[in-house]
Amino acid sequence: MAKKRPQSKAGKQQLKDGDIPVVGAREPCPCGSGRRYKACHGRAAAQAVTELVQRPFEGLSGECDWIALRELVPAATVELTLKGGLPEGVPSVTLATVLPMAWPALRRDDGSILLALQNDTSSGDLSRDLADTLQRALEAEPGSPVAARRVPADGPRLQDVLDLGAAFEPVVHPGFEFWIPDAENATPEVSASLERANAAAIPTTLLSGVDAAYWCETPEKNHLRWVMPHPEEQLLDALARLHAAGASSLGEGTRLVGSFRAHGLMVPVWDLPVAMGAEDCEKPAAQFAERLAEALVSDAPLTGEERRARGGLTNRQVTLS
C-alpha cells in the first residue's frame, strides 16, 4: 500500500507577525502553521496582554488622583478631554469610579459617555483596557452599555487618546445619583444597583490645599489617604526622618499608621479622631507637605532611630495592586 505523501504547505500564504489577526485560542493560527492559535502566535499575544504594567497612569495629568479614584474613592467623576476634541454626536466623556450593573462604560441616550475606572480588567495594563473600552463606547449606539472583552495587545493606551495637557479635576460625590439623569425613568435593576451602591459608600472628601489627599469617615475613626508622586525609597526615607523626629502626625490624636502601594506609587495613611473633619485636615496637611518637602531633599544617611522608623513603616505597607 503506497504511503500518503505529506500535504504540501507551499501554497499557503505565510503571514507576517504584524498581519496575524486575533482569533479564538483553539482555532487554527492564521499564520498557516497548522497549530492552534494559543500554541502559536497566541502565546506571544497572551503574554503581552497579561504582562503587568506597574504604573499604568504614568504620564497622565493627575496620575495620583487616577490612582485614588481607582482604589480609594467610592463616588467621583472627572470630565475627560480627548486628543483632537470630541467626535460629532458625543457631547462629553466622563470618567466615573463605578457604573450601575458593573458596566465598563455607558453611552447615554444623548450620546455622552461614562467610563468606569474600578472594573476588573482582562489584561495587565489598565491603561490599555480603559482606552479600548473608551474607543468602543465612542462607537456604541446611544442608550447602550459597553461589555467587557479581551483587549488586543497592540491597542492604544489612555496616554494615546487623552489630551495630556488638560487638567484632571475630580469631583467627589456623596452618592451615585450622577448615574441617573432621570431617576423616574430608571429601570428597576439600575435603581436597585444605585440603592446598594449608596448604602456601601464611605463619605469621602478631597482636600483643596494639597494634591490627591482624601479624607474619609468610618464608624470608629476617620482617615486621611494621600497618594504621593515621589519614588518609594525616597519617600520612605523622608517619612522615616519625620517619624523619628515626632513630626509625622497631623496634630493631636492623629497618627501615621502605614501606607498602601497602588499602581506604582505610595499612599501614606493617617488615623484621625472621629471629631476631625475634612476642613480640620487642611492646615495640618499643608504644614506636613512643607516638612515633607524638606525631608525629601536631605541626602544624609539615616540614623539608627530613623532606620528603625523606616523598618516599621515598611512593615505596615499593604499592596492594593
Candidates 198, 134, 211, 132; CA nearest to 169 is 211
User: Does 10 have pLDDT greater than 80?
Assistant: no
Query: Rounded mean pLDDT of the chain?
Result: 89
Q: What letter represents residue 184's amino acid? A: E
Distance from C-alpha of 298 to C-alpha of 205, rounded to nearest angstrom: 32
User: Does 285 have pLDDT greater than 80?
Assistant: yes
Q: pLDDT value at position 20? A: 62
Other beta carbons less than 10 A from residue 152's beta carbon: 15
Write the pLDDT tens digit of every residue in 125-165.
999 999 999 999 999 999 999 999 989 888 999 999 999 99
The three three-digit cell numbers of residue 177, written as one number: 445619583
Is residue 4 exposed (0-12), middle (13-18) or buried (19+ Cβ within 10 Å)?
exposed
> Cα(first)–Cα(last) distance of the chain, in Å?
63
**Percent of all residues in the chain with a pLDDT value above 90, rounded to a whole number:** 73
Candidates 145, 178, 155, 157; CA nearest to 78 is 178
Candidates 40, 38, 39; CA nearest to 17 is 40
Q: Span 151-180, mean pLDDT?
A: 95
Candidates 36, 186, 180, 220; CA nearest to 96 is 180
Distance from C-alpha of 261 to C-alpha of 266, rounded to nearest angstrom: 5
Candidates 88, 73, 84, 64; CA nearest to 227 is 64
Write the pLDDT tens digit of every residue in 40-81.
766 554 554 568 899 999 999 999 999 999 999 999 999 999
Distance from C-alpha of 214 to C-alpha of 216, rounded to nearest angstrom: 6
Q: pLDDT value at position 165? A: 96
Do the bridges between strand 76-79 and strand 265-272 make them parallel or antiparallel, or are there none, so unpaired? unpaired
The three three-digit cell numbers of residue 124, written as one number: 495587565
Candidates 261, 235, 239, 260; CA nearest to 250 is 239
User: Which region, left, alpha or beta, applies to residue 61 given φ > 0 means left and ψ of -120 to 50 means alpha?
Assistant: beta
Q: pLDDT value at position 46? A: 52
The answer to whether residues 158 and 65 touch, using CB atoms and an 8 Å cutoff, is no
Write the pLDDT tens digit of every residue in 202-244.
999 999 999 999 999 998 899 999 999 999 999 999 999 999 9
User: Does 22 have pLDDT greater than 70?
Assistant: no
| Cβ-count burial 282-291 (b if 16+ within 10 Å, e if not) | bebbeebeee
